Amino acid sequence: MSRWGIVARISRSSLVGISGSPGVGKSSFIEALGKELIEARGLKIAVLTIDPTSAVTGGSLLGDLTRMQELSRNPKAYIRQSPTSGSLGGVTRGIHEAIILCEGAGYDVVIIETVGVGQSEVAVVDMCDIFCLLLSPAHGDELQGVKRGIMELSDLLVVTKDDGDLRAKAKLTQAEYISALKYMRPRTPSWKPK
């Protein structure tokens, strides 16, 4: 059977893109989301993480498994780490094939975690059903939120680290982004990021 014949038989998974700047909490968020999807909804999930590649050595740390220890031990979860290997757009070469394999293996949800990205690395948007941008309370003035690019492509904005000493700053950041979203045109007319 040809590769395209196999693809035609694959059941469709929900594809979720997760992006945000380095250190925003992408891996911690994915572990919490993955556990919720498995434990509360009984779903089988795959997580495809992309880590930056060193321009000097060509190596990559691939450290996401250390931040998703509980999820990595769950038999209903699969986590695959890949280096960017010089690819642009926040993803890696071969990501499309990895998604197809996860769909073929019967995963209900495939989560794609991009390398920590800025305003221009948004290739994952075209691969996903929903694109989630994580925002840190330490980076959220309203002018940043008004910038085009990754913000206007997001379906869901999540302010992370809403606990401890950062709780007040997280609430302020949330309010600033809600205000900034009023000036942005939604990607699809029937949906507005909140």
Q: What is the pLDDT of residues 85-115, one digit of tens each?
A: 555 545 566 788 888 889 999 999 999 988 7
Number of structural domains the chain divides into = 1
Confirm whether 51 is domain-assigned. yes
Q: Which amino acid is at 108?
A: D
Confirm whether 60 is domain-assigned. yes
User: How does pLDDT run across 36-79, given as a tens digit for each residue?
Assistant: 999 999 999 999 988 765 544 444 454 555 668 899 899 999 99
Print burial letters for 130-148: b (CB count within 10 Å at least 16), e (below 16): ebbbbbbbeebeeeebbee
Question: Structure tokens of 63?
Answer: 């450290």
Comparing CA positions, the residue from 117, 126, 136 lying closest to residue 28 is 136
Share of the chain above pLDDT 90, in %: 24
Confirm whether 71 is domain-assigned. yes
Confirm whether 55 is domain-assigned. yes
The end-to-end CA distance of the chain, in Å, is 45
Question: Structure tokens of 49?
Answer: 């993480």
Confirm whether 188 is domain-assigned. no
Confirm whether 187 is domain-assigned. no
CATH number at residue 29: 3.40.50.300
Its domain, for residue 62, covers: 3-181
Confirm whether 32 is domain-assigned. yes
Q: Is the pLDDT of residue 25 over 60?
A: yes
Q: Calculate the dihedral angle through the C-alpha atoms of 160, 30, 88, 188, rounding to the nearest 10 degrees.
A: -70
Average pLDDT, the chain: 77
* Confidence tier at 15 by pLDDT (50, 70, 90): very high
pLDDT of residue 108: 96
Confirm whether 191 is domain-assigned. no
| Full DSSP string of 29-82 | HHHHHHHHHHHTT---EEEEEEE---TTT------HHHH-HHHHT-TTEEEEEE
